[in-house]
Structure 1
Amino acid sequence: MTINPYVPIVGLLILGALFALFSVSVAPIVGPKRYNRAKLDAYECGIEPAPQPIGGGRFPVKFYLTAMLFIIFDIETIFLYPWAVSFDALGLFGFVEMVLFIVTVFIAYAYVWRRGGLNWD
Protein backbone atom coordinates (compact mmCIF):
# COMPACT_ATOMS: atom_id res chain seq x y z
CA MET A 1 0.00 0.00 0.00
CA THR A 2 1.50 3.34 -1.07
CA ILE A 3 0.62 6.60 0.52
CA ASN A 4 -0.22 9.61 -1.58
CA PRO A 5 2.66 12.14 -1.37
CA TYR A 6 0.19 14.95 -0.64
CA VAL A 7 -1.19 13.35 2.54
CA PRO A 8 1.51 14.85 4.84
CA ILE A 9 0.98 18.31 3.30
CA VAL A 10 -2.80 18.12 3.77
CA GLY A 11 -2.27 16.81 7.30
CA LEU A 12 0.02 19.72 8.12
CA LEU A 13 -2.49 22.22 6.72
CA ILE A 14 -5.28 20.67 8.79
CA LEU A 15 -3.09 20.70 11.90
CA GLY A 16 -2.21 24.37 11.31
CA ALA A 17 -5.85 25.32 10.78
CA LEU A 18 -6.89 23.51 13.95
CA PHE A 19 -4.15 25.23 15.95
CA ALA A 20 -5.22 28.65 14.60
CA LEU A 21 -8.89 28.03 15.39
CA PHE A 22 -8.01 26.74 18.85
CA SER A 23 -5.78 29.75 19.61
CA VAL A 24 -8.37 32.27 18.45
CA SER A 25 -11.23 30.62 20.34
CA VAL A 26 -9.36 30.08 23.63
CA ALA A 27 -7.63 33.49 23.82
CA PRO A 28 -10.71 35.46 24.99
CA ILE A 29 -11.39 32.87 27.69
CA VAL A 30 -7.93 32.63 29.25
CA GLY A 31 -6.63 36.13 28.42
CA PRO A 32 -6.64 39.03 30.90
CA LYS A 33 -9.72 41.26 30.90
CA ARG A 34 -8.38 44.57 32.19
CA TYR A 35 -9.86 47.12 29.78
CA ASN A 36 -9.00 50.80 30.08
CA ARG A 37 -9.04 53.84 27.82
CA ALA A 38 -5.41 53.45 26.76
CA LYS A 39 -5.93 49.87 25.59
CA LEU A 40 -9.07 50.68 23.63
CA ASP A 41 -7.56 53.71 21.80
CA ALA A 42 -5.86 53.42 18.43
CA TYR A 43 -2.08 53.07 18.64
CA GLU A 44 0.00 55.33 16.43
CA CYS A 45 3.66 54.58 17.23
CA GLY A 46 3.60 56.15 20.68
CA ILE A 47 2.07 59.44 19.49
CA GLU A 48 -1.26 60.67 20.76
CA PRO A 49 -3.86 59.84 18.10
CA ALA A 50 -5.16 62.92 16.31
CA PRO A 51 -8.36 63.16 14.28
CA GLN A 52 -6.60 64.99 11.41
CA PRO A 53 -3.03 64.39 10.28
CA ILE A 54 -0.58 67.22 10.80
CA GLY A 55 -0.25 69.33 7.68
CA GLY A 56 -3.80 69.01 6.41
CA GLY A 57 -3.82 65.30 5.55
CA ARG A 58 -0.80 65.21 3.26
CA PHE A 59 2.07 62.81 3.76
CA PRO A 60 5.57 64.27 3.55
CA VAL A 61 7.66 63.39 0.51
CA LYS A 62 10.17 61.61 2.76
CA PHE A 63 7.53 58.95 3.40
CA TYR A 64 7.35 58.12 -0.30
CA LEU A 65 11.12 58.26 -0.73
CA THR A 66 11.59 55.79 2.13
CA ALA A 67 8.97 53.50 0.60
CA MET A 68 10.69 53.76 -2.79
CA LEU A 69 14.04 52.92 -1.23
CA PHE A 70 12.54 49.85 0.44
CA ILE A 71 11.01 48.67 -2.84
CA ILE A 72 14.29 49.20 -4.70
CA PHE A 73 16.28 47.02 -2.31
CA ASP A 74 13.48 44.49 -1.97
CA ILE A 75 13.34 43.94 -5.73
CA GLU A 76 17.12 43.83 -5.92
CA THR A 77 17.25 41.10 -3.29
CA ILE A 78 14.51 39.10 -5.01
CA PHE A 79 16.47 39.05 -8.27
CA LEU A 80 19.97 38.60 -6.81
CA TYR A 81 19.30 35.32 -4.95
CA PRO A 82 18.22 33.23 -7.98
CA TRP A 83 20.99 34.80 -10.05
CA ALA A 84 23.61 33.87 -7.45
CA VAL A 85 22.32 30.31 -7.27
CA SER A 86 22.45 29.79 -11.05
CA PHE A 87 25.50 31.95 -11.75
CA ASP A 88 27.53 29.13 -13.34
CA ALA A 89 24.73 28.08 -15.68
CA LEU A 90 24.05 31.63 -16.93
CA GLY A 91 27.60 32.38 -17.98
CA LEU A 92 28.64 35.72 -19.45
CA PHE A 93 25.12 36.61 -20.58
CA GLY A 94 23.80 36.38 -17.00
CA PHE A 95 26.71 38.42 -15.71
CA VAL A 96 26.13 41.24 -18.23
CA GLU A 97 22.39 41.27 -17.54
CA MET A 98 22.97 41.48 -13.78
CA VAL A 99 25.47 44.32 -14.22
CA LEU A 100 22.83 46.22 -16.23
CA PHE A 101 20.24 45.49 -13.55
CA ILE A 102 22.52 46.69 -10.75
CA VAL A 103 23.30 49.87 -12.72
CA THR A 104 19.55 50.49 -13.04
CA VAL A 105 19.06 49.93 -9.32
CA PHE A 106 21.98 52.26 -8.57
CA ILE A 107 20.35 55.00 -10.67
CA ALA A 108 17.18 54.68 -8.58
CA TYR A 109 19.27 54.71 -5.39
CA ALA A 110 21.11 57.84 -6.55
CA TYR A 111 17.77 59.51 -7.27
CA VAL A 112 16.49 58.79 -3.75
CA TRP A 113 19.81 59.94 -2.28
CA ARG A 114 19.72 63.21 -4.25
CA ARG A 115 16.12 63.88 -3.21
CA GLY A 116 17.09 63.59 0.47
CA GLY A 117 15.56 60.22 1.20
CA LEU A 118 18.54 59.19 3.32
CA ASN A 119 18.60 62.31 5.55
CA TRP A 120 16.86 61.71 8.85
CA ASP A 121 16.41 65.25 10.13
Structure 2
Amino acid sequence: MDQYLPIVVLMLLGIVFGVLSLAASKLLGPSRPSAAKEAPYECGIVPTREPPERFPVSFYIVAMLFIMFDIEIIFVYPYAVSRGALGAYAFWAVFI
Protein backbone atom coordinates (compact mmCIF):
# COMPACT_ATOMS: atom_id res chain seq x y z
CA MET A 1 0.00 0.00 0.00
CA ASP A 2 2.98 2.30 0.58
CA GLN A 3 3.74 2.28 -3.14
CA TYR A 4 0.47 4.12 -3.87
CA LEU A 5 1.10 6.87 -1.34
CA PRO A 6 3.01 9.18 -3.77
CA ILE A 7 0.23 8.82 -6.34
CA VAL A 8 -2.47 9.67 -3.81
CA VAL A 9 -0.48 12.63 -2.49
CA LEU A 10 0.11 13.94 -6.02
CA MET A 11 -3.58 13.56 -6.85
CA LEU A 12 -4.59 15.43 -3.69
CA LEU A 13 -2.09 18.19 -4.43
CA GLY A 14 -3.49 18.51 -7.95
CA ILE A 15 -7.05 18.78 -6.67
CA VAL A 16 -6.09 21.31 -3.99
CA PHE A 17 -4.15 23.38 -6.53
CA GLY A 18 -7.10 23.38 -8.94
CA VAL A 19 -9.61 24.41 -6.27
CA LEU A 20 -7.32 27.11 -4.88
CA SER A 21 -6.63 28.48 -8.37
CA LEU A 22 -10.34 28.73 -9.17
CA ALA A 23 -11.11 30.34 -5.80
CA ALA A 24 -8.28 32.88 -6.17
CA SER A 25 -9.44 33.72 -9.68
CA LYS A 26 -12.99 34.37 -8.48
CA LEU A 27 -11.91 36.41 -5.46
CA LEU A 28 -9.05 38.44 -6.95
CA GLY A 29 -10.04 38.81 -10.60
CA PRO A 30 -11.96 41.84 -11.87
CA SER A 31 -15.59 41.29 -12.78
CA ARG A 32 -16.92 43.82 -15.27
CA PRO A 33 -19.24 41.88 -17.58
CA SER A 34 -20.61 43.53 -20.69
CA ALA A 35 -22.55 42.44 -23.75
CA ALA A 36 -19.44 42.65 -25.93
CA LYS A 37 -17.44 40.42 -23.59
CA GLU A 38 -20.13 37.77 -23.37
CA ALA A 39 -20.75 37.62 -27.13
CA PRO A 40 -19.18 34.68 -28.98
CA TYR A 41 -16.02 35.53 -30.88
CA GLU A 42 -15.93 34.23 -34.45
CA CYS A 43 -12.62 35.40 -35.93
CA GLY A 44 -13.60 39.04 -35.91
CA ILE A 45 -16.95 38.53 -37.60
CA VAL A 46 -19.83 39.92 -35.58
CA PRO A 47 -22.60 37.31 -35.47
CA THR A 48 -25.83 38.73 -36.89
CA ARG A 49 -28.03 35.67 -36.47
CA GLU A 50 -28.18 32.31 -34.79
CA PRO A 51 -26.59 29.28 -36.47
CA PRO A 52 -28.89 27.79 -39.11
CA GLU A 53 -29.04 24.31 -37.54
CA ARG A 54 -27.84 22.25 -34.64
CA PHE A 55 -24.90 19.91 -34.80
CA PRO A 56 -25.93 16.52 -36.14
CA VAL A 57 -26.10 13.59 -33.75
CA SER A 58 -23.36 11.79 -35.69
CA PHE A 59 -20.93 14.51 -34.58
CA TYR A 60 -21.54 13.59 -30.94
CA ILE A 61 -21.34 9.87 -31.67
CA VAL A 62 -17.93 10.29 -33.30
CA ALA A 63 -16.77 12.38 -30.33
CA MET A 64 -17.93 9.74 -27.83
CA LEU A 65 -16.24 6.97 -29.83
CA PHE A 66 -13.01 8.95 -29.82
CA ILE A 67 -13.17 9.36 -26.04
CA MET A 68 -14.02 5.69 -25.56
CA PHE A 69 -11.06 4.46 -27.64
CA ASP A 70 -8.79 7.03 -26.04
CA ILE A 71 -9.63 5.59 -22.62
CA GLU A 72 -9.15 2.04 -23.93
CA ILE A 73 -5.56 2.93 -24.84
CA ILE A 74 -4.96 3.92 -21.21
CA PHE A 75 -6.01 0.42 -20.12
CA VAL A 76 -3.84 -1.30 -22.74
CA TYR A 77 -0.67 0.60 -21.81
CA PRO A 78 0.07 -1.33 -18.56
CA TYR A 79 -0.30 -4.59 -20.50
CA ALA A 80 2.18 -3.37 -23.13
CA VAL A 81 4.73 -2.49 -20.46
CA SER A 82 4.68 -5.91 -18.77
CA ARG A 83 3.66 -8.09 -21.70
CA GLY A 84 6.50 -10.57 -21.27
CA ALA A 85 5.65 -11.40 -17.66
CA LEU A 86 1.90 -11.74 -18.23
CA GLY A 87 1.94 -14.25 -21.09
CA ALA A 88 -0.77 -15.41 -23.48
CA TYR A 89 -3.60 -15.36 -20.92
CA ALA A 90 -3.26 -11.61 -20.44
CA PHE A 91 -3.15 -11.10 -24.23
CA TRP A 92 -6.49 -12.85 -24.70
CA ALA A 93 -7.98 -11.10 -21.68
CA VAL A 94 -7.05 -7.70 -23.14
CA PHE A 95 -8.19 -8.79 -26.59
CA ILE A 96 -11.63 -9.77 -25.29
TM-score by length of 2: 0.52
Question: Matches of 1:24 and 1:78 in 2, distance apart?
Answer: 34
Question: Matches of 1:20 and 1:62 in 2, distance apart?
Answer: 34
Q: Which runs of 5+ in 1 are unaligned?
A: 102-121
Question: Matches of 2:66 and 2:87 in 1, distance apart?
Answer: 30
CA deviation map 1:7-62 (0-9, x unaligned) = xx5xx58x735554333211127xxx5x5532122x3x728362xx634x5x4143
Moved segments of 4+, more than 4 Å = 17-20
- Indicate how the Cα distance of structure 1 residues 72 and 23 shifts in structure 2: closer, same or farther if over 3 A, else same: closer
Return the letter of the residue paired with 2:80.
Answer: A
Match of 1:63 among 56, 59, 63: 59
User: Which residue of structure 2 lines up, in the alignment, with residue 75 of structure 1?
Assistant: 71
Q: Which runs of 5+ in 2 are unaligned?
A: none
With a CA cutoff of 8 Å and minimum separation of 6, indicate the structure with the bigger relative contact order.
1
Is 2:52 the counterpart of 1:38? Answer: no
User: Which residue of structure 1 lines up, in the alignment, with residue 92 of structure 2?
Assistant: 96
Larger helix fraction of residues:
2
User: In the TM superposition, what is the alpha-carbon distance from 1:80 to its structure 2 partner?
Assistant: 1.2
SS of alignment partner, residue 52 of structure 2: coil
User: Which residue of structure 2 lines up, in the alignment, with residue 23 of structure 1?
Assistant: 25
User: In the TM superposition, what is the alpha-carbon distance from 1:82 to its structure 2 partner?
Assistant: 1.9
- The count of aligned residue pairs is 80
User: In the TM superposition, what is the alpha-carbon distance from 1:97 to its structure 2 partner?
Assistant: 2.9
What is the Cα-based RMSD across aligned positions, in Å?
Answer: 3.5
Percentage identity across paired residues of the two chains: 41
Larger of the two Rg values belongs to structure: 1
